């Protein structure tokens, strides 16, 4: 059974206040939406992700390279219309429809929803109401409500795709959630156990709670990398994905991009997954002359598959020449593109070694880098 996660993120977040819709605001080091996305990316039973984003928010999608990580759909004026737009792009047999605003969703909740779909057309997480329920008016208690059989609904709400697509297509687009749409179409929905941590950021105070929950779960790793390549004949050097004109080239088994190799090794280091040689042995002729982008993309994919987000890389190139400064902006942009992260999370700088040592004598280029990875 292939599954598609549809993460709806096209709302305006009016109740949460602030300058930006809540899904684009930062919590514990990254946006609310990216936290939600990371949970589904790392989930072993999720095969595809569709992100539903308001047409006016596409600049956020571009800045964060989200189209490299998920299929993007344009959202509608109500949550239901946004879900329908996501359903049009989903190819899985089952769909998990999730609020981007529930950015602390534990992986176990997703497992329980998928288990629930084995013998029902719909399954959704909820928590029974344990507090007493009152009715009130003008600041006074006016009565006690029976809480028997009442549940607090959460997401992801899971369904067999074709059934919920037909249900949404037939609905008026005004339902609060997908369970309401499914029930209106006569579909049974199984209740599975939700989780107290699966809060929805709705009001301004919810950001602090999410920060607490996400911060407490964080696993932060730092890796370092170091590499050297010697000069040889040529008319340019590849540095951090940019061909820099020069009167020599760098020698190596691949394209000898010393900066990119160093960042790649820093990422493998943070994951404790060896180095480039472990994954791409120099003895293997298929990597001769390879573009180093292949190595960096592999390290980033490995990080994501293990549930890590690359939050920052810092690379220092050590050489007397060529001059790196004029190319640094292009290098940052290219590295960010390959890594699928924002440019402001990539630092590329350079130094000389004051004419000392092999770099000072102009025999080659050295590079060092650190990478910071976060998992929650
Ligand atoms: N037209 C809409 C409205 C909501 N959502 C998404 O549905 C989820 C749950 O909705 P809610 O918490 O009500 O979000 P908002 O509509 O953004 O909030 P508000 O009602 O305060 O404006 C959110 O992730 C939100 O981005 C959506 O994709 N498209
Ligand atoms: C789908 C939902 O998250 C279930 O709890 C909820 O219905 C979303 O919207 P609301 O407007 O905050 O009720």
Closest alpha carbon to 178 in 200, 194, 158: 158
Say yes or no: CB of residue 314 within 6 Å of ligand 2: no
| pLDDT score of 40 | 95
Which of the following CATH numbers is that of domain 220-375: 3.30.1330.50, 3.30.565.10, 3.30.360.10, 3.90.79.10? 3.30.1330.50
Tell which atom from ligand 2 comes closest to the C-alpha of 102.
3
Closest alpha carbon to 319 in 295, 286, 354, 344: 354
| pLDDT score of 334 | 97
Neighbours of 286 (CB within 10 A): 8
ipTM, two decimals: 0.95
Sketch the domain layout of the chain as residue ranges: 3-215, 220-375
146 vs 206: CA distance, rounded Å: 27
Tell which atom from ligand 2 comes closest to the C-alpha of 200.
3
Under a CB-based contact definition with an 8 Å cutoff, are residues 222 and 272 in contact?
no
Closest alpha carbon to 37 in 89, 91, 103: 103
191 beta partners? 124
| pLDDT score of 174 | 81
256 vs 264: CA distance, rounded Å: 13
| pLDDT score of 29 | 84
Cα 12 to averaged position of ligand 1 atoms, centre (Å): 6
Under a CB-based contact definition with an 8 Å cutoff, are residues 249 and 231 in contact?
yes
User: b/e string for 325-341 if b means 16 or more Cβ within 10 A?
Assistant: eebbebbbebbbebbbb
For domain 3-215, give the CATH superfamily: Spore Coat Polysaccharide Biosynthesis Protein SpsA; Chain A (3.90.550.10)
Neighbours of 349 (CB within 10 A): 13
Cα 154 to averaged position of ligand 2 atoms, centre (Å): 7
| pLDDT score of 297 | 97
Cα 306 to averaged position of ligand 1 atoms, centre (Å): 29
User: What are the per-10-residue average pLDDT scores of the chain (376 residues)?
Assistant: 97 96 94 95 94 97 94 96 97 98 96 96 97 96 95 98 97 90 97 98 97 87 98 97 98 94 98 96 87 96 92 97 97 96 95 97 98 90
Say yes or no: CB of residue 264 within 6 Å of ligand 1: no
| pLDDT score of 209 | 96
Numbered residues of the known binding site: 227-229, 253-254, 261, 275-277, 351-354, 358, 361
Cα 180 to averaged position of ligand 2 atoms, centre (Å): 11
- Bridge pairing between strands 242-245 and 236-239: antiparallel
Q: Residue 301: phi, psi to the nearest 5? A: -65, -40
| pLDDT score of 226 | 98
């Amino acid at each position: 059974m292939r599954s598609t996660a549809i993460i709806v993120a096209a709302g305006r977040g009016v109740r949460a206040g602030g300058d930006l819709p809540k899904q684009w605001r930062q919590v514990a080091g990254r946006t609310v939406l990216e936290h939600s996305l990371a949970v589904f990316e790392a989930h072993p039973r999720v095969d595809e992700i569709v992100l539903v984003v308001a047409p006016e928010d596409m600049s956020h999608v571009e800045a964060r390279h989200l189209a490299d990580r998920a299929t993007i759909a344009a959202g509608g004026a109500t949550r239901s219309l946004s879900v329908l737009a996501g359903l049009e792009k989903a190819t899985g047999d089952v769909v998990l429809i999730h609020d981007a605003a529930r950015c602390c969703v534990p992986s176990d909740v997703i497992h329980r929803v998928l288990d629930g779909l084995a013998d029902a057309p719909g399954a959704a997480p909820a928590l029974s109401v344990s507090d007493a329920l009152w009715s009130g008016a003008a600041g006074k208690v006016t009565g006690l409500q029976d809480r028997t059989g009442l549940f607090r609904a959460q997401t992801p709400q899971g369904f067999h795709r074709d059934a919920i697509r037909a249900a949404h297509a037939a609905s008026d687009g005004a339902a609060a959630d997908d369970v309401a749409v499914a029930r209106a179409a006569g579909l049974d929905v199984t209740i599975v156990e939700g989780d107290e941590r699966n809060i929805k950021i709705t009001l301004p105070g919810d950001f602090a709670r999410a920060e607490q929950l996400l911060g407490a779960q964080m696993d932060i790793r730092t890796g370092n990398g170091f590499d050297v390549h010697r000069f040889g004949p040529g008319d340019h050097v590849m540095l951090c994905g940019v061909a820099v004109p020069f009167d020599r080239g760098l020698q190596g088994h691949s394209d000898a991009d010393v900066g990119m190799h160093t960042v790649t090794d820093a990422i493998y280091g943070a994951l404790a997954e060896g180095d480039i040689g472990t994954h791409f042995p120099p003895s293997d002729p298929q990597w001769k002359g390879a573009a180093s982008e292949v190595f960096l993309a592999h390290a980033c994919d490995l990080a994501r598959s293990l549930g890590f987000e690359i939050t920052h890389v810092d690379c220092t190139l050590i050489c007397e020449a060529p001059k790196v400064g004029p190319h640094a902006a292009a290098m940052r942009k290219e590295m960010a593109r390959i890594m699928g992260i924002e440019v402001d999370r990539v630092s590329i700088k350079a130094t000389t070694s004051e004419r000392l040592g092999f770099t000072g004598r102009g025999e080659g280029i050295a590079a060092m880098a650190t990478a910071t990875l976060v998992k929650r």
